[in-house]
Amino acid sequence: MGKIGDKTVDKVVIYPQGIALDTTSSTQDSEAILEDALTWASKELKLVYRREMIKRKTYVSQFTFYSNIAILHVNPILKNLSEKIGALVSENLKLKSVFEPTAVLLGMDPECQRVPTWTFSIERRQGIAFAESKYFSAAPLPTDIHIALVEVFEKGMAHQQNKK
């Protein structure tokens, strides 16, 4: 754990076949920090390093955001199902129970997954009331691309809901 400039490094792990670097900012910042560290180590510690030695990269980008649309209501069937489940659970518990979709998950087919890869997710923030409209998203992508895809999804959902 530490800081490099204004960037916080949570963890660095050196594996036999790779290096993992966790920061609290973006994957772009993480890549720059790692590049700087490897360049420094090659000069100061005589570590053999050249950019072209990196053959593959895997990313985990995560962020929390708010949305003023029902971003997880991807299909009207889910609304109907949620209402039915809520009514049945309310009856069983003798308490009002509200159910709504809580996540959209997109994962890689295990048959073609030779390298562990994170699932793309957009989900309600755990433990936060639905009314707060707070979400969490994770993706196996660079942060800027991840944010752009979530924005595209949100705009698509807004467009779909405005057509009704």
User: Over the stretch 8-30, which tens digit does the pLDDT of each residue have?
Assistant: 999 999 999 889 999 999 999 99
Q: Tell me the pLDDT tens digit for each residue of 132-141.
A: 999 999 999 9
Answer with the one of 16, 33, 53 that is the final residue of a domain.
53
83 shares its domain with 114: yes
Q: 22 with 65, same domain?
A: no
Specify whether 68 is located in the same domain as 86. Answer: yes
Question: Model confidence at 163, in pLDDT bands (50, 70, 90)?
Answer: confident
Separation between Cα atoms, residue 129 and residue 98, nearest integer Å: 11
Q: Which residues contact 146 (CB under 8 A, 6 or more apart)?
A: 61, 63, 137, 139
Same domain (yes/no): 85, 152: yes
Looking at the structure, tell me whether residues 85 and 34 fall in a common domain: no
Same domain, 71 and 35: no
Q: Which domain holds residue 8?
A: 2-53
> Do 44 and 113 have their domain in common?
no
Same domain as 36, residue 110: no
Question: For the segment 82-107, what is each residue's pLDDT rounded down to a tens digit?
Answer: 999 999 999 999 999 999 999 999 99
pLDDT for the residue numbered 17: 85
Predicted pLDDT at 118:
93
Mean pLDDT, residues 49-64 taken together = 93
As a whole-number percent, the residues of the chain with pLDDT over 70 amount to 99
- Please check whether residue 143 is in contact with residue 27, taking contact to mean a CB–CB distance below 8 angstroms: yes
* Global pTM exceeds 0.85: yes
CA distances, 109 to each of 106, 112, 114, 116 (Å): 10, 6, 10, 11
- 127 and 71 in one domain? yes
